[in-house]
Amino acid sequence: MVATRYDLQLAVAAVSLPHVVGTAVRFAMLRRHIDRDVLVRFGIPSALGGLAGATLQSVAGGPLLAVVFGGLLLFAGLGGITGFSQRMRFGARVAWFGGLASGLLGGLVGNQGGIRSAALLGFDVERDAFVATATAVALVVDGARIPVYLATQGARLGPLAFPIVLATAGVVAGTIVGGVLLRRLPESVFRRVVGLLLLALGLYTLARLG
């Protein structure tokens, strides 16, 4: 919605601030469940890719990237719903490449959460570890990309201060409620729910191009 009123670079910078606050709150809630091996093999390359994507966003973005992004989300979503993703397992090299590629693409299009979750479906982690590790990776990625966004768009964020504060409050509230709902979600249906959300996000991304 922000991107409909402002240019993409400014919108991404504005949205990234509430996002990092919500991520920090979720990290505090779930930090005990982090899979450190996945965090190192996937998270560090993802942070490097996110930094590169954020840096190149103003010159390398475009509709083609959005099509690729949406297509990958559709593929991952169907994999999560059908159970195909559970038969895929990422080795060390694939994990490193997947982290780098997902971070780069997410940084370019300004939406790393969806593509990160899609990539994490390829790891054999349980529900709490999945969310906790994705959160830790997100915090690392935000730490890499937000300084870039602030350096390039910081001077233009002043008029958006109130919407940013309001969005931050909403994100924090949603994070807390989401944490409660997560604990009630059976492990057996968790990946299918993630797949359904990725499928919906992919369809929405492609529909916006029409």
**Domain residue spans in the chain?**
2-207
Q: What is the pLDDT of residue 177?
A: 93
> Which residues fall within 8 angstroms of residue 133, CB to CB, at 6 or more apart?
33, 34, 35, 38, 39, 42, 43, 120, 123, 125
Q: What pLDDT score was predicted for residue 3? A: 46
Name the nearest CA neighbour of 16 among 146, 147, 134. 146
The pLDDT of residue 110 is: 64
End-to-end CA distance of the chain: 16
What are the 10-residue block averages of pLDDT along the chain, 210 residues in total?
Answer: 60 84 92 91 84 72 73 81 68 77 77 78 84 87 79 84 91 92 82 88 81
pLDDT at res. 171: 93
**Residue 164 to residue 155: CA distance in whole angstroms:** 14
How far apart CA 86 and CA 208 sit, in angstroms, is 30
What per-residue confidence (pLDDT) applies to 35?
92
**Structure tokens given for 2:** 């922000």
pLDDT for residue 138: 84
Which residues, 6+ apart, have CB-to-CB distance to 57 below 8 Å? 8, 9, 12, 107, 108, 110
* Nearest alpha carbon to residue 107 among 56, 50, 60, 150: 50
Amino acid (1-letter code) at residue 185: L
Of 110, 100, 9, 15, the residue nearest 66 (C-alpha): 110
How far is 73 from 9, CA to CA, in rounded Å?
22
Structure tokens at 202: 């992919």
